[in-house]
Amino acid sequence: MSRADVTAGASSDGGIIMDPGIRLLTKIGDFVEPLTRFDRGHLTLESSQHVNVDVVARQVFRVTFETTHREGNGGLPPGVTLTPDAAAMARGSEAQLASSKAATAGKLSAWAAEHGETPSAKPAVSDCFTPLPAIGHVETCAPCQGAGKIACSICEAAGTLTCEACEGRGSNPCKTCNATGKVTCAACKGMRTVITHRERKVYDEESNSHRIEHVQETTTCGACTGTGITRCSKCGGRTTIVCATCNGQKTITCKQCQGSGHQRCETCGGEGRRHFLTQLSCSIHETFETSARTPDPETATVLKALDSIDKVLALAATHRSTAETSADTLRRETTAVTPVTTVTVVAGGSRAEVRGYGPRQDVLDYRNIAGMLLADDLGVLESALPETRLLPPRATEGMHASLTTVLASEANVAIAENAAKKDQSAIASRFRGVVTAEYIARAGGAMKKAVGRAYWAMMAKGPVAVLAIPLILLPIDLIVRGQGQGGRLMALLGVMLMTFFAALAAHYWVTQQLQKKLAPSGTPKIQRIVDKLNLTLHWLAAAGVAAAVLTLAVASLTSLLFPIPPL
């Protein structure tokens, strides 16, 4: 179908009127043509039907009131109306609710008179309710009787507690003397006497000279005067020592109240008063539903799924609205006249019934039209795959040719780029039914296998030989031995890096060759598809591991075949 064949008649003023069916087929062609290698001439309009469907949208706005209760410490916050007690507060709250409800009907009616026939307009809370001040009252705190504090529960308002360390005595028995006031004399160890050493000069008649003589004498202990015991220095003989905890005071300060004898009342937070208040608030709850007056169940389902008035109006050619109000509810009914064009399109030998909704003929589901056009291309590729192998890699010219044909369609390219993902919902949503989820899964699997086998087969034709680069380490290792272990390590790392970068270059060479074979025009980019299918990652990971393993293996073999002679 060409763009020249889209007219169906002329208007009374000489203008061209486009038949709705032809116009929808043109729109379908605009969407499908860029996604496939086929032009719109492969789409044939078999039949068309154009009807106007009444979509009835019902909006209900219900005004509801809620009284919230709050309480807190101290007096009432600013702006709150003070009442004497809880009963007065309740009466005031009920009066506010009654007056607000009574005013709602008039406010809703006034708003409906001005905006009721505007389907996109919605009443706001300010249109139905005038905010009123909160109402509250204040009570003296019962637990503290308005003092803001209560007697300490630990010390019972005394502020002090009996010292537990000395049990209120102010002192404790001396442990050094066991409360006797006396201890064994440290000088004589309780022996009552001490031995002293002294020197004396005596005359030796034989030698006719004086000599020094050392003698021991036992004397009464002067420290204890021969009793063997002395007064305890710890307690001074008193048998007790002052309690270190209370310093002899017999009591200690209460930690709970810090000696004050009272603590803050937690019920009122130390304020001595509690306030209670009620606040009236308003909200508007909206419900929405649609129904379609059409015998076609599919059209009815689609139009009934419209979940907002904006969506209904977007598909309407004309609309009219009526509104009515009650005491607290505004009901609006909008009848939107929605044009629905249904065409039967023949594509690839199959038929599809496509519907366009609204003046712009929005298509929600293209009914696998592209899938029908592309099915034969995919079938040829699938029939060529059994002649290929992954191990050892083998790809045929027939597979290359069929893959070239498949990748000539943009839809297939997008599917191929997403074939490695587990979740295909994004690509399915993007296509809006122009290909089915079943086709996406089938085409993605076939293209993933075909591109992978073409890649590995091209790699096996020669580029894979870069993995043999580690063999050059053998002569290099023999040359750098004289440089010690540092030189050998640098050679080892150098060969690993050389192998990896050679593998990277091999990858780019392979993708360039596949570009020339599969898409010589430059579109699509085979490099991008290979990357999206994770083939680049798999090859470089394998090459990196192989580079490390083979280099280390060659280094070990070199050391085994040509051992370094001992010094």
Amino acid 11: pLDDT: 39
**HEC profile for 89-123?**
HHHHHHHHHHHHHHHHHHHHHHHHHHHCCCCCCCC
Mean pLDDT within 365-381: 94
Whole-number Cα distances in Å, 240 to 161, 168, 172, 176: 22, 14, 5, 10
Q: How many CB atoms lie within 10 A of CB 528?
A: 13
Does the pLDDT value for residue 12 go beyond 50?
Answer: no
pLDDT of amino acid 7: 33
Predicted pLDDT at 228: 86
Range of weakest confidence among 43-52, 106-115, 172-181, 274-283:
172-181
Query: For the range 92-101, what are the long-range contacts, defined as Cβ-Cβ under 8 Å and sequence gap of 24 or more?
Result: 92/135, 92/278, 93/67, 93/135, 93/278, 93/280, 96/132, 96/135, 96/280, 97/65, 97/67, 97/280, 100/65, 100/129, 100/130, 100/132, 100/280, 100/282, 101/65, 101/327, 101/328
Quick one: average pLDDT of 281-296? 95
Which residues on adjacent β-strands are paired with residue 56?
291, 335
In order of 201, 282, 343, 425, 475, the CA distances from 46 in angstroms are 152, 57, 7, 31, 76
Q: Are 145 and 151 in contact (CB under 8 A)?
A: no
**What's the mean pLDDT in 279-291?**
96
Residue 4 has a pLDDT of 30
- Residue 182 and residue 229 in contact, taking contact as beta carbons nearer than 8 Å: yes
450 CB neighbour count, 10 Å cutoff: 24
Q: What is the mean pLDDT of residues 312-335?
A: 95
Helices 473-480 + 535-561 axis angle, to 10: 50
More confident residue, 409 or 427: 409
Reply yes or no on whether the pLDDT at 565 is more than 80: no
Single-letter amino acid, residue 506: A
Has residue 5 got a pLDDT over 70?
no
Minimum mean pLDDT among 4-13, 86-95, 287-296, 358-367: which range? 4-13
Residue 372 CA to residue 374 CA, distance in Å, equals 6
pLDDT attached to residue 42 = 92
Residue 526 pLDDT exceeds 80: yes
Question: Among all chains, which residue has been given the structure tokens 């929808």?
Answer: 24
Torsion angle, alpha carbons of 24, 27, 33, 38, to 10: 20
Report the chain's mean pLDDT, rounded to a whole number. 90
| Cα 134 off chain centre by | 40
pLDDT of residue 14: 43
User: What confidence score (pLDDT) does residue 156 get?
Assistant: 85
Per the model's pLDDT, the better-predicted residue between 448 and 13 turns out to be 448
For residues 122 and 112, the answer to whether their CB atoms sit within 8 Å is: no
> Do the Cβ atoms of 67 and 279 come closer than 8 Å?
yes
Give the pLDDT band (50/70/90) at residue 396. Answer: very high
What pLDDT, on a 0 to 100 scale, did the predictor assign at position 376?
A: 94
DSSP 308-375: SHHHHHHT-SEEEEEEEE-SSEEEEEEEEEEEEEEEEEEETTEEEEEEEETTTTEES--TTHHHHHHH
Lowest-pLDDT choice from 143-152, 192-201, 435-444: 192-201
186-209: per-residue pLDDT in tens? 888 888 888 887 777 777 777 778
- pLDDT for the residue 566: 58
Half-sphere exposure (Cβ direction) of 528: Cα atoms closer than 13 Å = 12
**Out of 87-96, 183-192, 207-216, 253-262, which region has the weakest mean confidence (pLDDT)?**
207-216
The Cα 298–Cα 54 span in angstroms is 15
Each residue's pLDDT tens digit, 55-66: 999 999 999 999
Q: Is the peptide bond before 524 cis (omega within 30 degrees of 0)?
A: yes
- Does the pLDDT value for residue 8 go beyond 50? no
The reported pLDDT for the residue numbered 213 is 76
Give the separation between CA 269 and CA 148, rounded to whole angstroms: 7
Dihedral sign computed on CA atoms, order 206, 207, 210, 214: negative
Q: How many CB atoms lie within 10 A of CB 461?
A: 12
Q: Would you state the pLDDT for residue 276?
A: 96
17 pLDDT band, cuts 50/70/90, is low
Mean pLDDT of 525-529: 96
Tens-place pLDDT, residues 471-510: 888 888 788 776 777 888 888 899 999 999 999 999 999 9
User: Model confidence over 297-309: pLDDT tens digits?
Assistant: 999 999 999 999 9
pLDDT at 215: 76
User: Any idea which residue has 């690509």 for tokens?
Assistant: 427
Average pLDDT (399-422) is 95
Distance CA 148, CA 116 (A): 57
| 490: amino acid identity, one letter | M
Domain ranges of the chain: 370-461, 463-567
Does the pLDDT of residue 256 top 70, yes or no?
Answer: yes
Which has more pLDDT, 373 or 209? Answer: 373
The per-residue pLDDT for range 327-356, each reduced to its tens digit, is: 999 999 999 999 999 999 999 889 999 999
pLDDT at 258 exceeding the cut of 60: yes
What is the pTM assigned to this prediction?
A: 0.65
pLDDT tens-digit series, residues 77-128: 999 999 999 999 999 999 999 999 999 999 999 999 999 999 999 999 999 9
- At 555 the pLDDT is 84
Flag whether pLDDT at 3 surpasses 60: no
